[in-house]
Amino acid sequence: MRRLIEFLLSCLTTCHDFGRIFPWSIAHLSIAAFMLVGLISTLLIRESSKAGDEPQTLRSAVVEPFKEFFQRTNRQDALWILLFIILYKLGDSMATALETPFFMDMGFSTVEIGSIAKISKTIGATVGTILGGLAMIKLGINRSLWIFGGSPDFVNIRLRDVVYGGL
């Protein structure tokens, strides 16, 4: 656990320092260069599946799993499941895309956004993942999906209230 925290802090410190010295585009490209380690490892590591197990055509990779999915469940349940999957994180994704422009409109600089907002989100996501995993063990996967899927929407509604009406 200590190494994970040290790794996260070193990544965040590096990005923050790069953001002060260079434009953010260069800072992000430099940090992305560190991803090459994972990319090269992925390309060099052996495939875990047996030869011949992989789909041979686009139809067998995409269309046939959907056909099987609809054959296993009735049409209405299948559509509800697909709707749930599509809408599960839609609000959170939209709010995340608008977050940086929102902070810029509020008068924060890019360095402040990079050092405060992004660091706090990384720490929050790490702690939330650990606590969410522990809660899922207690609550079960189905109940956890509904509870943790809806909580970001509550936060987004609360942020809207802060913007338009104060605390």
* pLDDT score of 95 more than 80: no
* pLDDT, position 4: 54
* pLDDT, position 163: 72
Q: Please check whether residue 61 is in contact with residue 55, taking contact to mean a CB–CB distance below 8 angstroms.
A: yes
Q: How confident is the model at residue 5 (pLDDT cuts 50, 70, 90)?
A: low
Nearest Cα neighbor of 14 from 38, 32, 39 is 32
Arithmetic mean of pLDDT, 10-28: 65
Asked whether residue 47 is domain-assigned, the answer is no
Asked whether residue 140 is domain-assigned, the answer is yes
Asked whether residue 30 is domain-assigned, the answer is yes
* pLDDT score of 10 more than 70: no
What digits encode the pLDDT tens for the residues 58-90?
Answer: 898 889 998 998 888 888 888 888 888 888 777
* pLDDT score of 19 more than 70: no
* pLDDT, position 134: 92
Asked whether residue 111 is domain-assigned, the answer is yes
| pTM for the predicted model, two decimal places | 0.49
- The parent domain of residue 10 ranges over 1-38
Q: Please check whether residue 111 is in contact with residue 20, taking contact to mean a CB–CB distance below 8 angstroms.
A: yes
165 and 101 part of one domain: yes
Asked whether residue 161 is domain-assigned, the answer is yes
The SS3 of residue 17 is helix
Domain count, the chain: 2
Q: How many CA atoms lie within 13 A of 95 on its CB side?
A: 13
* pLDDT, position 146: 80
94 and 25 part of one domain: no
What digits encode the pLDDT tens for the residues 138-166?
Answer: 999 888 888 887 777 777 777 777 777 76
